[in-house]
Chain A
Amino acid sequence: MRFARRLGVLPSALVLLAAAVAALAPGLFSTADPVRGDLGERLLPPGAGHLFGTDELGRDLFSRVVHGSAASLQAAAIAVGIAVLTGAMIGLVAGTAGGRLDGLIMRGVEVLLAVPSFLLVLVVVAVLGPGTREVAVGVGVSAAAVFARVMRAEVVRVRGSAYVEAAAVSGTGRAATLLTHVLPNASGPLAALATLELGNAVLTVASLGFLGFGALPPAPEWGSLISAGRPYLASAWWLTTVPGLVIVAVVLAVNHLGHVLRTRSERR
């Protein structure tokens, strides 16, 4: 079991590294234009000239997947950033304030949790309008509730610990205690949760792209690539399958690495 887990670390890291490089410098992987195609080379199956084949306008699919990773991964990363920051802030306030304010905030968080998260994202995106950044905000808001709950529980635990009491006796102020003792000690589980949420976010962003809320055409994005390939499912399988496999690989890699990091931090 442990061996199998270690075996997965290297491929996962490679997948993630490749995705990150593709997002930052797509030109390193593919020189083909992701937007302009050659109509003479329409719907070619994967082969030597076109690694992932071409689409109905003769555009190189490999290039489109590579160039699409920026939109997909950026949206996912921003979403997790928003979720962690707002969630941590809400949890910190609730856990520190206690009493009625705590109750009020946490009931609000529970309402957010009670609404199916994908529905919530759709509502936010419907209000803000389509676009990569809008999708990121929607996904981030819907995921913040979980972070808020975890953060509050950790803050309550740390606040009752003897070293926080010792800080009070030492004359350290409340705000300084919160920033130097409570926040660092409470944020461990949050980091673990964030890695888990990153995989989720990649998936949700792709789902929204599939539904047409993500990057606007002709810009490539993983979810919208699958959506665009759907009419050709019978004749050109690669248009849906290859982007789908890329999403699966990235989500699995993120989740696996997150899991490894988490178990390692727990063992410490």
Chain B
Amino acid sequence: MTPLLAVHGLTVRYGRDRPAVAGADLTVEAGQIVAVVGESGSGKSTLAHALAGLLPDTATTTGGVITFGGERIDGLRERGWRRLRGRRIAFVPQDPGTALNPLMTVRAQLAEALRLAGTPRPGRDALEDALARVGIPDPAEVLGRYPHQLSGGFRQRVLLGMALAGRPELLIADEPTSALDTTVQKTVLDLIQQVAVRDGTSILLITHDLGVAADRADRVAVMTEGRVVEEGPAGRVLGRPEAAYTRLLLDSAPRPLTGPAPPEGEPLLAVRDLRKVFPDGKVAVDGVSFSLTRAGAFGLVGASGSGKSTVARMITALIEPTAGSVLLDGAPVRAGRVQFVTQNPYTSLDPLWSVGRIIAEPLRATGGADRRAQVRRLLEEVALPPEVARRRPSALSGGQRQRVAIARALAPSPDLIVLDEPVSALDAVTQAQILALLRRLRDSRGMSSLLISHDLAVVAAVAERLAVMRDGRIVESGPTADVLASPEASFTRDLLAAIPGRGR
């Protein structure tokens, strides 16, 4: 039997650069879920776009054959693609925040999708049915809304509803959940899986997350540097990986700390009844208390909007609390004693400064002799070569930039480092390296840290104690091992269940 989709030796390049996809092979059988796993820059997104005929004009396909339902589609012109797309091949883009037209209601956009898929005048029933099929509980209500009135998860469902409107044979989903919280991610993935089973739709799932692939896919293809380096049944690829790169990816998944939590030592940071009400009346943080021991790592977990970043900003004195206190060694926090590492290493470093100058910036305030030697020592601590000091941030990768941000935070030898989502903008392999660095710094220099993340697995890989936040309050706290083993709050259980790849 011929497979639904077969790709042989596909090569795509942008301009004169090294090809983004270099001779990739892939097959998708009818009714299968195939996951393509890879880092950013591995070519997986370019592959997805090539299969939907959505490559930008700057890309040229220089070789390879794509067959769909037995017909060659690699040489198709735009008119030919339009006959396929929406009816037989559907595409769900990465970021639901920007993929819907903000000026059109859901009804108008969905009607357009249905019309293009072959229903000339979609009636109310057809529209509501399309939304009901993607698990939207109240379709009539949602139809009249604009995209900004919907949450990220609902927007992704609407996009999925539009993609499935034409009952396609193949659905290509390009990182459909990477912009969503873990709990929302789970519901959207459940839905995609359900569609595959119910309608027999084949699904090509592009993801950077091996856990997602392990949970959802029948077959997994691992991509790196434009090539598929390993392909096979999900259980075999993840259970007995053959390619070195697959093993590296598997080893990079965050693992909770093992061993019992160290006894609670001398408290360093004491947060009591912290509360923040913003001028618009929104209560972001509502009575948060916890304490952190010297040389300890404490984790704060919660979905976006739970108030965890607001807590971080109050501890670093970037914003004033409405009520409550933050005490470091029993006294209010003095400048420079608490340092901050933010989520996005692409914006947290001044693009015009050299790395050496960036790292030395906090030293200027505290003084200290021979800054150049200190910078060299700090670079060594975060495992960067000394010549990096002369470079600009734009010459560094995301992981290297985050190392620079950590070195800058370490520079004034602070009592505490607050890390707000330090790895969520990074690839799995880089993420594992940064988490290892954090563990090492704690052992080598007794660094105390507060780690904030939406991902329970990330926090558990570094922190021996954690607190779970929801709607501005702490719903559960305790030693990490205990919380993972026997979560008390139902929200913590949802968070745990939502971590991809736990079945492995």
Residues of chain A whose beta carbon lies under 8 Å from any beta carbon of chain B: 161-163, 165-173, 176, 181, 184-185
| Band of interface residues on B | 20 to 34
Which of B316, B318, B361, B405 has the most chain A CB atoms closer than 10 A to its own CB? Answer: B361
Neighbouring B residues of A172 by C-beta, 8 Å = 361-362, 364-365
Enumerate 22 A-B pairs (CB-CB under 8 Å) in ascending A order.
A161-B347, A162-B342, A163-B349, A165-B340, A166-B348, A166-B349, A166-B405, A167-B350, A168-B318, A169-B316, A169-B318, A169-B338, A170-B336, A170-B365, A171-B335, A171-B336, A171-B362, A172-B362, A173-B365, A184-B352, A185-B350, A185-B352
Closest to B361 in A: A170
B408 at interface by CB-CB < 8 Å: yes
**Minimum C-beta distance from B382 to chain A (A):** 16
Closest to B348 in A: A162
Residues of chain B whose beta carbon lies under 8 Å from any beta carbon of chain A: 316, 318, 335-336, 338-340, 342, 344, 347-352, 361-362, 364-366, 405, 408, 411-412
**Minimum C-beta distance from A167 to chain B (A):** 6
Please tell me if the beta carbons of A170 and B347 are within 8 angstroms of each other in the complex. no
Neighbouring A residues of B316 by C-beta, 8 Å = 169
A167–B358 Cα distance when bound, in Å, is 9
Number of A-B residue pairs with CB-CB distance less than 8 Å in the complex they form? 53
Please tell me if the beta carbons of B352 and A170 are within 8 angstroms of each other in the complex. no
A107–B307 Cα distance when bound, in Å, is 37
Neighbouring B residues of A162 by C-beta, 8 Å = 342, 344, 347-348
- CB < 8 Å neighbour of B351 from A168, A169, A176, A185: A185
Neighbouring A residues of B411 by C-beta, 8 Å = 170
Neighbouring A residues of B350 by C-beta, 8 Å = 163, 167, 181, 185
Please tell me if the beta carbons of B318 and A167 are within 8 angstroms of each other in the complex. no
Neighbouring A residues of B365 by C-beta, 8 Å = 170-173
Neighbouring A residues of B339 by C-beta, 8 Å = 169-170
Neighbouring A residues of B362 by C-beta, 8 Å = 170-172
Please tell me if the beta carbons of A166 and B342 are within 8 angstroms of each other in the complex. yes
A170–B316 Cα distance when bound, in Å, is 10
Neighbouring B residues of A184 by C-beta, 8 Å = 352
**Minimum C-beta distance from A123 to chain B (A):** 39
A133–B176 Cα distance when bound, in Å, is 63
A184–B354 Cα distance when bound, in Å, is 13
A161–B412 Cα distance when bound, in Å, is 22
Contact (A163, B340) CB under 8 Å given A170-B412, A172-B361: no
A153–B349 Cα distance when bound, in Å, is 20
Neighbouring B residues of A163 by C-beta, 8 Å = 347-350
A185–B347 Cα distance when bound, in Å, is 12
Neighbouring B residues of A171 by C-beta, 8 Å = 335-336, 362, 365-366, 412
A176–B318 Cα distance when bound, in Å, is 17
